[in-house]
Amino acid sequence: MSTAALPPLDPVFRRAAKRTRDIFASCPDEGLGDEEKSARMRLAVKINDEYRDYKQLPGPLLAKQGLVGPSAPKQPSQKMITAGPGATDTSRLIAQIDNTPTPQPSTFTSSSQLSQALTLHKTTRTIKPTYHPPWKLTRVISGHLGWVRSVAVEPGNQWFATGAGDRVIKVWDLASGELKLSLTGHISTVRGLAVSSRHPYLFSCGEDKMVKCWDLEANKVIRHYHGHLSGVYSLSLHPTLDVLVTAGRDASARVWDMRTKAQIHVLAGHTATVADVKCQESDPQVITGSMDSTIRLWDLAAGKTMVTLTHHKKSLRALAIHPTEYSFASGSAGGNNIKKWKCPEGTFVFNFGGHNAIINTLSVNAEGVFFSGGDNGTLSLWDYDTGIAFQNMEDVPQPGSLEAEAGVFCSTFDVTGTRLITGGADKTIKVYSEQS
C-alpha cells in the first residue's frame, strides 16, 4: 500500500481533539463531590498503617520508664469566647477560664531524699581552696635593652636564661641575680627558650625565623633548624625523646629531631599564628594554642590532630601544663579567658574567672600555685584545684619607663616552685617569692 493514499494527519488530529473536548466539556460534575472525603479517608488509612506501632511504647519498655523529673503542668481546656448578647456574658466567660496549673507530685519519693540531694548540692558548691602563702616581689634585675619576651630555668636550678627584644640571650645566676653570660646571634627578638635536662644544650627561637641550639660548654651555636617561613614564637622540648617542637607565625608547629636537625612533622591545621606550644610525656604529647582561638592536641606519632578545642572566643596566647597532674590550662583575651582542661581528651574542667586582661603568660608549680600575667601589668595567683584567686597584684614599671610598659610577657617557676620569674615590657626581670 502506498503512503500517498493516506490523508494528512493534522486535520485528523484537530478533529479528534475537538470531539474529545466536546464530550468531556459537557460531562456533569456530580461525581467529583466526594473527592475531599476520599482524600481524608486515604490519609487516615496511611497514618494508621505507618504510625500504628509507634503511638505507644511496647509494654516492657513502658514498665521500665519512670518519671524523669517534675512533669509539666496540664493545660486546662480553655473555652472559646464567642459573640454573645452582651458584655456581661463575655466577662463571665473570661472569668471561667482558669490558668492555675494542677499541683503535681514530686519525683522524690520522700522528703528525706530531697533533703539529701540538696545537701549534696550544697557540699559540691562549697569546695575550700588549699591555703597558699602570699607572694611578694623580692628582686628586680635589669640589663636587657628591649622587652623581655622569654625565660627558662636550668634543670639544676643554678641559673636561668632570658631572651629579649634586644636580640641577646642573657644567663643569670638564680641565687644572686648576677649576669653570668650574654649570647648573641639572633638578628631579631628572641621569643622562646628551653634548657635540655639531658644534654648541655640551650635552645632558642626568634622573630628572625631562626631556631638555634647552643652548646653551653662551648657557649656557641652548634645547630640550626631551618624550615619556618616566618617568625618563631614558641618552642618546647619533649621530656623523654630527643625531639624539639617549635611554633610560629606561619600557622604551623614543626617537630625536629634534635640531633640530625631533620624535620619529622609539620603539624598543620591552625589558620593563624601558633602562639604557644607545650610537650609532655603521655598523649597528647604536643599541645598548641593559636591566635585562631583554638587549641589542638596532636598525635605525635602520626603528626595529626587528635582533638580541636574551640571554647575560647579570642586569640590564644599562653598554655601551661601542670608538672604532676594530668591537666593543662590556657589563656586568651576577653572574658572567661583562662580555662582548665583535663588530658588526654581535652575535657573542659572550669574557668578561672576574674582576670580581665589579655593573658600573655601562664605558669603552674607542683604545689598548685597557678600564675597568670596580663598585657596591662596585672598579675593573678590562683589555687589550681579550685580556680579561686588568692592574690592579685600589679606589675610596677621600672622607674623611668612609661606607665604603659607594665605588660608581663613571660613567666616560669624555678625547679623548687618557690620562686617565680617574670619578664616584662619595662625591660626588667622580676623575681617573686613565697612569704614564709
* Stretch 37-65: mean pLDDT: 77
- Over the chain, what is the mean pLDDT? 84
pLDDT tops 50 at residue 153: yes
For the domain bounded by 135-434, which CATH number is listed?
Answer: 2.130.10.10
Q: What is the predicted pLDDT for the residue at 429?
A: 93
Please provide residue 90's backbone torsions phi and psi, each rounded to the nearest 5 degrees.
Answer: -60, -45
Highest mean pLDDT: which of 148-152, 355-359, 406-410? 148-152
Q: What is the predicted pLDDT for the residue at 22?
A: 81
Listed range (33-42, 198-207, 354-363, 378-387) with the worst mean pLDDT: 33-42
Laid out side by side, the sheet with 327-332 consists of 316-321, 327-332, 338-342, 347-352
Q: Where are the beta strands (DSSP E) in 258-407?
A: 263-268, 274-279, 286-290, 295-299, 304-309, 316-321, 327-332, 338-342, 347-352, 359-364, 369-374, 378-383, 388-394
CB-CB contact of 273 with 291 (8 Å): yes
Question: For residue 326, what are the contacts with CB-CB under 8 A and spacing of at least 6?
Answer: 282, 342, 343, 344
pLDDT tops 90 at residue 196: yes
Residue corresponding to grid cell 617574670: 422
* Stretch 272-278: mean pLDDT: 94
* Stretch 9-37: mean pLDDT: 74
Q: What is the predicted pLDDT for the residue at 71?
A: 47
pLDDT tops 80 at residue 1: no
Cα 308 from Cα 301, distance rounded (Å): 17
Q: What is the predicted pLDDT for the residue at 94?
A: 54
Highest mean pLDDT: which of 169-173, 349-353, 394-398? 169-173
Q: What is the predicted pLDDT for the residue at 81?
A: 46
The reported pTM is 0.70
pLDDT, tens only, 77-127: 555 545 555 555 655 655 566 556 666 655 555 667 777 766 766 555 557
pLDDT, tens only, 353-395: 888 899 999 999 999 999 999 998 899 999 999 888 999 999 8
Helix, strand, coil: what percent of the chain each, to 5? 15, 40, 45
Laid out side by side, the sheet with 428-434 consists of 135-142, 428-434, 419-424, 408-413
> How many other β-carbons are positioned within 10 Å of the β-carbon of residue 137?
15
pLDDT tops 80 at residue 210: yes
pLDDT tops 70 at residue 141: yes
Q: Which residues pair with 411 in a beta bridge?
A: 422
Cα 381 from Cα 355, distance rounded (Å): 10
**Cis? peptide before 344, omega within 30° of 0:** yes
* Stretch 193-204: mean pLDDT: 94
Cα 205 from Cα 190, distance rounded (Å): 6
Q: How many residues does the chain have?
A: 436
Angle subtended at Cα 286 by Cα 284 and Cα 287, rounded to the nearest 5 degrees: 90
pLDDT tops 50 at residue 50: yes
Domain residues of the chain, as ranges? 135-434
Cα 433 from Cα 365, distance rounded (Å): 13
**Rg, the chain, Cα only:** 37
